[in-house]
Amino acid sequence: QLQLQESGSGLVKPSQTLSLTCAVSGGSISSGGYSWSWIRQPPGKGLEWIGYIYHSGSTYYNPSLKSRVTISVDRSKNQFSLKLSSVTAADTAVYYCARVDIAAAGTYYFDYWGQGTLVTVSS
């Protein structure tokens, strides 16, 4: 059974860089047919897709965050990471990592999720 687990700092100061890692177990991050994604959810609000990375290293980002986001993969550790720079209080949210199923001829969808980790931006 595939499992994803987020880790990283739960408190980040304004203007600094948020850094999170998602450890994948029960499967290889290099498997074809999948990409790896980050999604966030501000307290009491809806879901916002941040971006995803293919096993090749190609990335796609939400245009509203693109200038501040970097997603990368570490195949040796079977994990992928998120960096979000110049954070403000508006970046306070639960951050989820998820696997994206891209194998089928149809849509891309999130089939496995981490439990989520709350990141608070505050001085």
The residues binding another protein (CB under 8 A) are 37, 39, 46-49, 52, 60, 62-63, 96, 98, 101, 104, 106-111, 113-116
Q: Nearer Cβ to another protein, position 89 or 118? A: 118
For 61, the token pair is 């980002």
Classify 46 as helix, strand or coil. Answer: coil
Residue 7 or 16 with smaller CB distance to another protein: 7
Query: Whose Cβ is closer to another protein: residue 47's or residue 89's?
Result: 47
